[in-house]
Amino acid sequence: MKVTVVGAGAVGASCAEYIAIKNFASEVVLVDIKEGYAEGKAMDLMQTASLNGFDTKITGTTGDYSKTAGSDIAVITSGIPRKPGMTREELIGINAGIVKTVSSSLIEHSPNVTLIVVSNPMDTMTYLVHKTTDLPKNKIIGMGGALDSARFKYRLAEAMEAPISDIDGMVIGGHSDKGMVPLTSHATRNSIRVSEFLSAERLDQVAADTKVGGATLTGLLGTSAWYAPGAAVSALVQAIACDQKKMFPCSTYLEGEYGLNDICIGVPVLLGKNGIEKIVDVPLSDAEKAKMQESAEGVTKTNGLLELS
């Protein structure tokens, strides 16, 4: 199992570290455009191997995609992150060019690769990969919902003063401050609906805090977060690498599912060795359906900024 991670910055390096620590991949290749940066991150991470007890071989390269040849999975984190006060959508100008070039270089050397898109605005970058490459749609996966769901569970646990391992919940929709749709009506603590423990007002607050989860951290850190994004990517990579058939909300190309067409947006999917193996149809309340529709309109508007010709 060979995994390439493009972008050896905060998210890329964190993702490589979590993949290595979980010890399921034989090789992780880090790629960056900054001279020596990926090589340096790879060497630093390899020097944690004897301490953290993993055998995954991590190497780095400055833009030499021949080193990524034969990758089973590749993660695209290259691009600029947002600064405090910025929206993810504002990154489109620079990141679209980077994602287009990087995805084509990856596929040239690994025609059977499964791509996980992380760079923002993620749903639109996933759509861009869908429109500009020949990869089948099950092999193009946008990571956002896994992270947003982890943030939702964190906020629910905090509100209930419960251990996070008691909590289950999911966030679908666009990966943006306005577009996320936390599925509060489906969230549970040990299979009991969270509405049994928290008032409607408190649940609204949990949903609102979840939606600005990334912006809150950007305000505190001065750049976007990396530990939880890296962990979320590594969970998706592991589900595919180990054929786990696990369910995560991921951005995927929809053709009628959830009443949506010609869009990549977060919906629950099953991940296994073939990438997205199934889109799971979850019954939504009328309010959740309306939020999903509104979210899709936002993503479609951002997609309209792409120059696809």
Ligand X SMILES: NC(=O)c1ccc[n+]([C@@H]2O[C@H](COP(=O)([O-])OP(=O)(O)OC[C@H]3O[C@@H](n4cnc5c(N)ncnc54)[C@H](O)[C@@H]3O)[C@@H](O)[C@H]2O)c1
CB 210 within 8 A of CB 155: yes
**Which of 33, 140, 222 has the alpha carbon at shortest distance from 12?**
33
**Using the rule CB under 6 A, is 268 a contact of ligand X?**
no
What's at 254, amino acid-wise?
L
**Using the rule CB under 6 A, is 237 a contact of ligand X?**
no
Please name the helix (run of DSSP H) or strand (run of DSSP E) that holds residue 300, with its range, or none.
helix 286-303
Among residues 11 and 194, whose Cβ is nearest to ligand X? 11
Phi and psi at 211, nearest 5°, equal -65, -30
Strand-pair partners of 181: 172
Interface with ligand X (CB under 6 A), residue from 78, 114, 218, 234:
78
**Using the rule CB under 6 A, is 8 a contact of ligand X?**
yes
**Using the rule CB under 6 A, is 32 a contact of ligand X?**
yes
Interface with ligand X (CB under 6 A), residue from 4, 7, 115, 296:
7
Among residues 61 and 198, whose Cβ is nearest to ligand X? 61
66 HSE (CA, 13 A, CB side): 0
| DSSP state string for 34-50 | STTHHHHHHHHHHTTHH
Does the bond joining 121 to the residue before it have cis omega, within 30 degrees of 0? yes
When CB distances to ligand X are compared, the closest residue is 9
**Using the rule CB under 6 A, is 82 a contact of ligand X?**
yes
**Using the rule CB under 6 A, is 92 a contact of ligand X?**
no
The 8-class DSSP code of residue 158 comes to H
Interface with ligand X (CB under 6 A), residue from 3, 5, 10, 265:
10
R_g (Cα) of the chain, nearest Å: 18
Q: What mask of x and - would describe binding to ligand X in positions 167 to 186, judged by CB under 6 A?
A: --------x-----------
**Using the rule CB under 6 A, is 126 a contact of ligand X?**
no
Q: How many residues does the chain have?
A: 309
Total residues binding ligand X (CB under 6 A): 35
Question: What would the two tokens of residue 167 be?
Answer: 């909590």
Among residues 123 and 203, whose Cβ is nearest to ligand X? 123
CB 31 within 8 A of CB 16: no
**Using the rule CB under 6 A, is 226 a contact of ligand X?**
yes
**Using the rule CB under 6 A, is 119 a contact of ligand X?**
yes
175 as an active site residue: the answer is yes
In angstroms, give the least distance from the CB of 193 to ligand X. 27
Q: Which residues bind ligand X (CB under 6 A)?
A: 6-12, 31-34, 37, 77-82, 91, 95, 98, 102, 118-120, 122, 143-144, 147, 175, 223-226, 229
Looking at the annotation, which residues are catalytic? 175
